[in-house]
Amino acid sequence: MHRAAYAACGIDATYEAFDVPPTELGAAIERARSDGTRQLAVSIPHKQTVMAYLDEIDPTAQQIGAVNTVTLQDGRLIGANTDWIGAIRALERECELNGKRAVVLGAGGTARAVTFGLLRRGASVCVLNRTAEKAHTLAEDLGASASGALSDIDAHDFDVLVNTTSVGLQSDASPIDASAHRTGSVVLDAVYDPEKTLFLRDAEAASAKTVGGKWMLVLQAAEQFRIWTHENAPVDAMAEAFDQAGR
């Protein structure tokens, strides 16, 4: 996606993928610092641990508690988070979020980013997680109005529903029963592979409007591009690159 964006904008840069084991993260960051790498995208499982190796974390990433974007500025590594804006812009493809009632499924790093974004846009948020205790902690940390167990979803009304659990990634499963979906709601799955998860198929069958995780991924990368180049991202070229990537 990034290479496609550079090509579309005539930017002479490349984007390389490095598989870094957790024990080598510090060394990888120091290598990037010394070899002239200007920007880093950080993915699973390093989004929290990378924070210890940076010189500065912007306030939003600090509040979310995770960094997925690192920029070298005047010799200092600065951490930011674009996952939240990717999720929010993906949802905003289908609806305005201000005043909406949202339910976020999961309580990991992705749930923190999505909850932060929904609250910032003026939605009310209920966080539901398999381990309810983690949902309570997340809700308290970020100021979400409600939290509980995943199994209690029927007790919560919503206009917007986001799956941030990893259910659907490894197998054709959904974190909730099909009957929990609501007609007319807007439903986003953070899982992007496969593109049509069971969670999204169930939502569609219930006449909800669905947004694939592809858009969350593409739009968080588009925001990285904007931070790094100060230019608007060529989103269509990036989405096309996603479609063409072999997965």
Q: Give the footprint of ligand ATR on this chain (CB under 6 A).
A: 106-111, 129-131, 134, 150, 164-167, 175
CB of 209 to ligand ATR, least distance (A): 23
- CA 5, chain centre distance (Å): 19
Interatomic CA distance for residues 138 and 151, integer angstroms: 17
Question: What's the token pair of residue 25?
Answer: 């993260």
Interatomic CA distance for residues 133 and 57, integer angstroms: 27
CB of 157 to ligand ATR, least distance (A): 21
Asked about 47 being catalytic, the answer comes back as yes
CB of 114 to ligand ATR, least distance (A): 9
Asked if residues 158 and 185 have their Cβ atoms less than 8 Å apart, the reply is yes
Give 109 or 213: the residue with its C-beta nearer to ligand ATR.
109
For the chain, give the number of residues: 247
- Omega before 45 cis (within 30°)? yes
CB of 138 to ligand ATR, least distance (A): 9
Give 57 or 150: the residue with its C-beta nearer to ligand ATR.
150
Say if residue 99 is exposed, middle or buried (CB neighbours under 10 Å; 0-12, 13-18, 19+).
Answer: exposed
Strand partners, 66: none
Question: Under 8 Å CB-to-CB from 129, ≥6 apart: which residues?
Answer: 105, 106, 107, 111, 135, 138, 147, 149, 150, 165
Catalytic residue, from 47, 100, 134, 196: name it.
47
Give 4 or 198: the residue with its C-beta nearer to ligand ATR.
198
Give 165 or 220: the residue with its C-beta nearer to ligand ATR.
165
Instruction: Give the nearest residue (CB) to ligand ATR.
Output: 108
Task: Cite the active site residues.
Answer: 47
